[in-house]
Chain A
Amino acid sequence: MSDVLTQAYERRASFAGRSSLRTWLTAILKNRIVDLLRKQWREQPLEPVGDDGDEQDFDRLFGANGHYLDTPLDSGNPAELAQQEAFLTAVQRCVEKLPKRIGQLFVLREVFGSDTDELCKDLQITPSNVWVQLYRARMMLRACLEQVGFGRTAAG
Chain B
Amino acid sequence: MLRITCQQASRLLSQRMEAPLGAGMRLRLRLHLFVCDACTRVARQFAAIRLAMQTLRERD
Contact = CB atoms under 8 A, between A and B. Distances in A.
B25 interface: no
A71 B57 CA distance: 30
A82 B55 contact: yes
Interface in B20-60: 36-39, 41-42, 44-57
A150 B56 contact: no
A115 B42 CA distance: 22
A116 B18 CA distance: 7
Contacts of B52: 81-82, 87-88, 91
A103 to B, nearest CB: 12
A19 interface: no
Contacts of A139: 10, 14
A44 B60 CA distance: 32
B38 A73 contact: no
A142 B46 contact: yes
A65 B4 CA distance: 10
Given A74-B41, A81-B48, A116-B18, 14 more contacts: A58-B10, A67-B36, A68-B38, A71-B37, A73-B41, A75-B44, A76-B44, A81-B51, A82-B48, A82-B52, A87-B48, A91-B49, A131-B14, A139-B14
27 contacts: A58-B10, A61-B7, A66-B6, A67-B5, A67-B38, A72-B38, A72-B45, A73-B41, A76-B44, A78-B44, A78-B48, A79-B51, A81-B52, A82-B48, A82-B51, A82-B55, A88-B52, A110-B53, A131-B14, A134-B14, A134-B18, A135-B11, A138-B14, A141-B49, A142-B46, A142-B49, A150-B48
